[in-house]
Amino acid sequence: MKYKASEDRYHSMEYNKCGESGLKLPAVSLGLWHNFGDNADYKNMCKMCFTAFDNGITHFDIANNYGPAAGSAERNFGRILNDQMKAYRDEMIISTKAGYYMWPGPYGDFGSKKYLVASLDQSLKRMDLDYVDIFYHHRMDPDTPLYETMWALDSIVKSGKALYIGLSNYDGETMKKAADILNELNCPFIINQNRYSILDRTVENNGILNALTERKKGMIVFSPLEQGLLTNRYFNEIPNDSRVRTDGRFLSEKSITGQVLEKTQKLNEIAQNRGQTLAQMSLAWVYNRTGVTSVLIGASKPQQILENIKMLEKSDFTQEELDAIDRIVL
């Protein structure tokens, strides 16, 4: 039976403009970094995409190397889109990225025009799309001239294969230089994607938040829950189905120290006093930061998406709450 979207899908989600552009993103976006590879259950992937869209999440964020194996998240999402959700393509924002290793030899990594154009062509084939809405350069390249990378991104937009350009994992100074080049090229660079959470304030210290505000660009945040540390999953023991047990590349057991648990348990007390879970409060905290357009969530089951969206029910903080959070973390 074909998927039919909920008629109420736009009733409760908030949408924010990406900087001064005309594009709006939902407050919560769905990232396909985990749980959409060939090692995941296809029916569950479908349910997560349907649940997200039924609740106003119009933005689906992918990258060429998401899996495992690399490319499989794009392929699986393309299958879901074309089998079940094609009627809603014009209501969706689909983004992908290139910048990390994809194939052997000197042309399958980083930021040359050769790599970026070839990678996007492969991504479009995997998803069976004519274009993506946002195409990101996924990381800074120390060896390729910045102008070449930006020129490549501009040529991709002018070719019609992407509508907007984003940068990911850039620092403030490099982003400013890139923005100047893209502005000269009249290329629609609208958004930056960076890691940010209550526990990781790097973007506050490396100049990216201020630079984005100055340049009137949007910002979308990944890892707002620190790979699950900012949830209650690890308070008592490490669950067998947790990311630590199933995929220790991004969160290892040694990261869950007594000091970290002490902080997260104190944060949980603040969350409970607010009537939220720790995850909901952590998402609301990031969303509340000046300049943040959207918060990327990952999920392993549909119920997690529904629980995370509830952060919108109480996304404001008192100054006392913000000060208390900082005293715990900083």
Q: Which domains does the chain have, with CATH numbers?
A: 15-228+280-316 (3.20.20.100)
Question: Residues 34-47: what's their mean pLDDT?
Answer: 97
pLDDT of residue 245: 44
Helix, coil or strand: residue 211: helix
CA distances from 250 to 41, 84, 96 (A): 21, 31, 20
CA distances from 125 to 90, 119, 165, 310 (A): 18, 10, 19, 35
pLDDT of residue 241: 56
Give residue-wise pLDDT tens across range 11-26. Answer: 999 999 999 999 999 9
Helix, coil or strand: residue 195: strand
Measured CA to CA, the distance from residue 312 to residue 200 in angstroms comes to: 21
Percent share of the chain, pLDDT over 70: 94
Give residue-wise pLDDT tens across range 77-110. Answer: 999 999 999 999 999 999 999 999 999 999 999 9
Residue of 236 and 301 predicted with greater confidence: 301
Mean pLDDT estimate for the chain? 94
- Cα dihedral 44, 50, 55, 59 in deg (nearest 10): 100
Task: Give me the count of residues in the chain.
Answer: 330
What stretch of H or E contains 303? helix 302-309
Give residue-wise pLDDT tens across range 135-188. Answer: 999 999 999 999 999 999 999 999 999 999 999 999 999 999 999 999 999 999
Task: Write the burial class of residue 113 (CB in 10 Å: 0-12 exposed, 13-18 middle, 19+ buried).
Answer: middle
Distance of CA 139 to the CA centre of its chain: 14
Question: Residues 205-231: what's their mean pLDDT?
Answer: 93
Please give the structure tokens belonging to residue 84. Answer: 């079940």
Residue of 133 and 205 predicted with greater confidence: 133
Question: Residues 193-219: what's their mean pLDDT?
Answer: 95
| pLDDT at position 1 over 50 | yes
Query: Closest Cα to residue 79, out of 42, 40, 53?
Result: 42
pLDDT of residue 147: 98
Angle between helices 302-309 and 42-54 (to 10 degrees): 20
Question: Residues 249-265: what's their mean pLDDT?
Answer: 75
